[in-house]
A and B are shown apart, each in its own frame.
Chain A
Amino acid sequence: MTTPNSPDVSLRHFVSTEPFDPKAVTKIAPELERYFLASQWKLMWWKLKWHRLAVFSGLFLLVLYGTTLFSEFLAPYDNHTRDIGHIYAPPQSVHLFHDGEFIGPFVYGIDYKLNMVNLKREYTDNPNKIQRIRFFCQGDEYDFWGITTGRLHLICPAEGGTLFLLGTDRLGRDMLSRIIYGSRISLTIGLVGITLSFFLGMIVGGIAGYFGGLIDIIIQRIIEIMQSFPQIPLWMALSAIMPLTWSPLVIYLAITIILAMLEWTSLARAVRSKLFSLREEEFCTAAKLMGAKPSRIIGRHLLPGFMSYLIASATLSIPTMILGETALSFLGIGLRAPITSWGVLLNEAQNINIVVLYPWLMLPVVPVILTILAFSLFGDGLRDAADPYK
């Protein structure tokens, strides 16, 4: 006997009643779709954003470079203002309260006395002199980028008072102002140098990678030889041959060229190896089969593929350049006195006996280390994000 309720019936084949559309594509979640459709650079940005430390370092660098545009406004004194009454004055600390009474940010005036026994300059805080720090005030006159002259500063000392937050140097110049001005040279020298070596590396590496064969072998050997030179002695030798009579601008340019001379090799190597591996990819063969010219293949298909790597590795070699400039200027064979850079400032700290007496001369070390650290972290983040498809 058969009933309609046999087990076969409960397992009846399911047929969807919806109309069948052979052209329909599997739907994917909108988030995933956004991810698939995003461009390479967008993916990189998303990946970089995850790297908090790198983003933070990047912002820090952005602010740092931003300040170089307004050094004149930010620095309390002019770069070359000399206060002969306050030579080697120690840093003044900012106070808010005097005798338990709120006054606002101020510094105590300093009294100067020459110790006649050991001829040491002695500065003491004078609690009777309360010098309130002024903000958005009129101070030393400066020439703003050759456009206008101004007197407006972010902070200035009280009228007739002093404001040496990081002390003064051998000529009574404010260290803080000089560090702010020095960042202009120290920070840009890395950028200019890396741009130079970036182009040099791309061209030489591109030639080696594209032509291959004998040219490649020769270029490889040259790079190997260049890399076996110890960097600092070679930089020392090259900058020692700069005539003393050159103007500051020429010396600045010469130093960037010297720094770029060795740095391009690693970039050229990266370009070459990337070109070699990408040349064999299918998309490249496809483009070739479709009749694309070499210039189009390189510019349109190959270059975008490894541009991100290059930018990342260029970022990672900026610190070497900044350090190179600092080291050379520190030794006195890089940039010289009328120019202000962190290395030039540190040159004053070369003598350990002076540093022990006036330790604040070593303070330019701090921005150097912070900048290098920020560049390394940011470059690391960039490098991790450079290949978003991994």
Chain B
Amino acid sequence: MITYIIRRVLLMIPTLLVISLLVFIIIELPPGDYIESYIAQLEAQGEQANPELLNFLRQQYGLEKPAYERYFGWVTGMVQGDFGFSFEYRMPVSEVIGDRLLLTILISIATIMFTWIIAFPIALYSATHQYSWGDYGLTLLGLLGLATPNFLLALIMLYFANVVFGTSIGGLMDPEYLDMPWSVDKAVSVLEHLWVPVVVIGTAGTAGMIRRLRANLLDELGKHYVTAARAKGLPGYKVLIKYPLRVAINFMVGDIGHLLPSVISGAELVAIVLSLPTTGPILISALQSQDMYLAGSFLMFLSMLTVVGVLISDIALTFLDPRIRLDQGAER
């Protein structure tokens, strides 16, 4: 058991290294660097760039060093908790992204919870009432949820909230809390605003989850042990709770690996539409202004979230499912 966990954690390291290399290549690809786009920006405003300042900046951030040196600098810095310096915000990257990353994680977890809470009963109903009107109706609803891109859903919800209720549902907290330190009131305000992005991001994932869970449950329900249990006179709901449901729970935990990348992707887009103070809006501006360390750290963190999420779901599965535990996780 413990060896399995240790092995999984060790396996994560090369994965993260490859990811960091890919991320670095992506942020290095555009021609020019931040200083150049900064000069362009200054000139567009009719100002003259001070060459001495620019040279100083270049040296300060090591932009003249060869790429591989900068890569190693970046990676070793990250291991030590130093994520580089954001050119645009003129402060360390960790300070820029700290709060925002926390909110992104919060939204992701809340969305997965929401997905589970909604998908579970619906899939259960659909599977036990296969080919009934309810099943068809719910399947169609799920398909509609799958077909509506979540950033468009966010737009539609913003519109109706504005027209019907006359309020703005954008943002993640009341405006007066924006720059305040964390307090109970602020947390309450965040919770009040959280449901909109959670519902919006959750719809597509919920629909997919319902379909997979339903198919999984149907497979289980058709198996002989269910028939045997029923033939011995166990009432229908008890059969359901005792056996297939437990398998389904394993499935839901294992499905995090599927769910997490799409939830994070969705969260980025929805955040831009709803202007949430999460990573989305900053990531896009950082990408556009070639604020490379900021953009790179964001990409790195977002992929790390997925990798760590999958790791947690794998470890949770080994606790839940003795088959994996006994196999030492040879086959996942």
Contacts and interface: CB of A to CB of B under 8 A. Distances in A.
B31 interface: yes
Interface stretch (B147-155, B180-188, B220-228, B315-323): B147-155
A232 B266 contact: yes
Given A231-B261, A231-B265, A236-B283, A372 B15 contact: no
A230 B303 contact: yes
Interface stretch (B127-135, B158-166, B235-243): B158-166
B302 interface: yes
A228 interface: yes
A333 B15 contact: no
Contacts of A229: 19, 22, 261, 303, 306
B194 interface: no
B209 to A, nearest CB: 15
A350 B146 CA distance: 22
A331 interface: yes
Contacts of B151: 327, 330
A359 B156 CA distance: 10
A228 B15 CA distance: 9
Interface string B253-283: 0000000011011101100110000000001
A372 B143 CA distance: 9
A319 B208 CA distance: 14
B29 interface: yes
B107 interface: no
Nearest to B296: A237
Interface in B73-117: none
A235 B159 CA distance: 27
Contacts, number: 121
Contacts of A346: 152, 155
Given A238-B26, A376-B147, A228 B261 contact: yes
Given A228-B303, A365-B152, A237 B268 contact: no
Interface of B: 15, 18-19, 22, 26-27, 29-31, 143-144, 146-149, 151-152, 155-156, 158-159, 162-163, 168, 170, 261-262, 264-266, 268-269, 272-273, 283-284, 287-288, 295, 298-299, 302-303, 305-307, 310
Interface of A: 221-222, 224-225, 227-234, 236-238, 240-241, 243, 319, 323, 326-327, 330-331, 333, 346, 349-350, 352, 355-356, 359, 362, 365, 368-369, 372-373, 376-377
Given A331-B272, A368-B149, 14 more contacts: A225-B15, A228-B15, A228-B261, A228-B310, A230-B305, A231-B261, A233-B283, A237-B299, A240-B288, A350-B273, A355-B159, A359-B159, A362-B156, A365-B152
